């Protein structure tokens, strides 16, 4: 296990209406709402954020968003600014998820602008990096994640960078039921930590939390969390069902 407090984040993607989101919280708040020594984040769709903000108060469940725009405000139809999120009690935001990179033109450059904007507003960015199957088979995993990290965190100083969370999510493992072995995921997370050390120094590298994501289940999460460089998990599919989510959190502490 790592020395850092584990952080488990649920990425609901485009699942759950507001009513369904509230029902979920009703079911999980008693079993996990008071657990300590773990950071628990729920990232619902934007439309459910305001209602959940009310239901989560008095628990240790924190709110995250799945995306943010980098501008303060402006003519960006359909977009949401950092201040619009913080006003509702949102503390985290997923930035650069591979689905956004693949389907919504997210690039390393926009990821960097979003990371900077989020930190400026005291929102913790969960910065997603990871290689696709062809890159992995070509032996490029380390170089791809290293370049994504350098670009995503470019222009930050160490005190800002250490606030961020990184999620290593191999694209071929997301929603596929295939996952990187715990030992292999740890190697990549260690490489990410070394990259951060070369950019910002060892103190920052030792503070920053790095999650693994990719078909994590209640039965497998412990294998990842036992690794020294893996500090949590970003979970899609297995975070949607209340019982499974409770199982993930119970296994994590």
Q: Interface residues for ligand PEP in 198-217 (CB under 6 A)?
A: 213-216
The binder of ligand PEP chosen from 188, 237, 245, 248 (CB under 6 A): 237
Q: Which is nearer to ligand PEP, 64 or 236 (CB)?
A: 236
**Smallest separation (angstroms) from ligand PEP to the CB of 111:** 15
Helices of type H across 121-163: 133-137, 141-152, 158-161
Q: Which residue is nearest to ligand PEP (CB)?
A: 236
Known catalytic membership, residue 69:
no
| CA dist., res. 179 & res. 188, Å (int) | 13
The binder of ligand PEP chosen from 153, 208, 234, 251 (CB under 6 A): 234
| CA dist., res. 2 & res. 22, Å (int) | 33
Question: Do 153 and 115 contact (CB within 8 A), yes or no?
Answer: yes
What is the DSSP track for 185-243?
A: HHHHHHHHHHHHHHHH-HHHHHHSEEEEESS--TTTHHHHHTSTT--EEEESGGGSSHH
- Is 54 assigned to a binding site? no
- Is 33 assigned to a binding site? no
How large is the C-alpha radius of gyration of the chain?
17
Q: Which is nearer to ligand PEP, 48 or 200 (CB)?
A: 48
| CA dist., res. 169 & res. 27, Å (int) | 28
DSSP state of 42: E
Q: Which is nearer to ligand PEP, 95 or 200 (CB)?
A: 95
175 binds ligand PEP (CB under 6 A): yes
Out of 69, 97, 121, 191, pick the active-site residue: 97
Neighbouring residues of 20: CB distance < 8 A, sequence distance ≥ 6:
none
223 binds ligand PEP (CB under 6 A): no
The Cβ of residue 135 has, within 10 Å, a number of other Cβ atoms equal to 17
Out of 99, 131, 162, 169, pick the active-site residue: 169
232 binds ligand PEP (CB under 6 A): no
Known catalytic membership, residue 50:
no
- Is 22 assigned to a binding site? no
- Is 217 assigned to a binding site? no
- Is 13 assigned to a binding site? yes
Q: Which is nearer to ligand PEP, 148 or 215 (CB)?
A: 215
- Is 215 assigned to a binding site? yes
Question: Do 4 and 189 contact (CB within 8 A), yes or no?
Answer: no
Residues that bind ligand PEP (CB under 6 A): 11, 169, 174-175, 213-216, 234-238
* Binding site listing for substrate: 11-13, 175, 215, 236-237
Catalytic residues: 97, 169
């Amino acid at each position: 296990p790592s020395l850092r407090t584990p952080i488990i984040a649920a990425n609901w993607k485009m699942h759950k209406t507001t009513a369904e989101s509230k029902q979920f919280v009703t079911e999980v708040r008693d079993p996990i709402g008071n657990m300590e020594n773990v950071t628990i984040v729920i990232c619902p769709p934007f439309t459910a954020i305001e209602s959940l903000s009310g239901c989560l108060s008095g628990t240790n469940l924190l709110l995250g968003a799945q995306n943010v725009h980098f501008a303060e405000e402006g003519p960006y139809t359909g977009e949401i600014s950092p201040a619009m999120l913080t006003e509702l009690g949102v503390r985290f935001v997923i930035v650069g998820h591979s689905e956004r990179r693949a389907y919504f033109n997210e690039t390393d450059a926009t990821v960097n602008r979003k990371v900077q904007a989020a930190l400026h507003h005291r929102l913790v960015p969960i910065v997603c990096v990871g290689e696709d199957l062809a890159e992995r088979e070509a032996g490029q995993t380390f170089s791809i994640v290293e370049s994504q990290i350098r670009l995503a965190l470019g222009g930050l100083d160490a005190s800002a960078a250490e606030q961020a969370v990184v999620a290593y999510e191999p694209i071929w493992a997301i929603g596929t039921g295939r996952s990187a072995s715990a030992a292999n995921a740890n190697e990549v997370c260690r490489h990410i930590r070394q990259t951060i050390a070369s950019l910002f120094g060892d103190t920052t590298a030792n503070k920053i939390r790095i999650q693994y994501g990719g078909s994590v289940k209640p039965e497998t999460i412990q294998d990842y969390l036992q690794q020294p460089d893996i500090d949590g998990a970003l979970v899609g599919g297995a975070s949607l069902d209340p019982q499974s989510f409770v199982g993930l959190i119970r296994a994590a502490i």
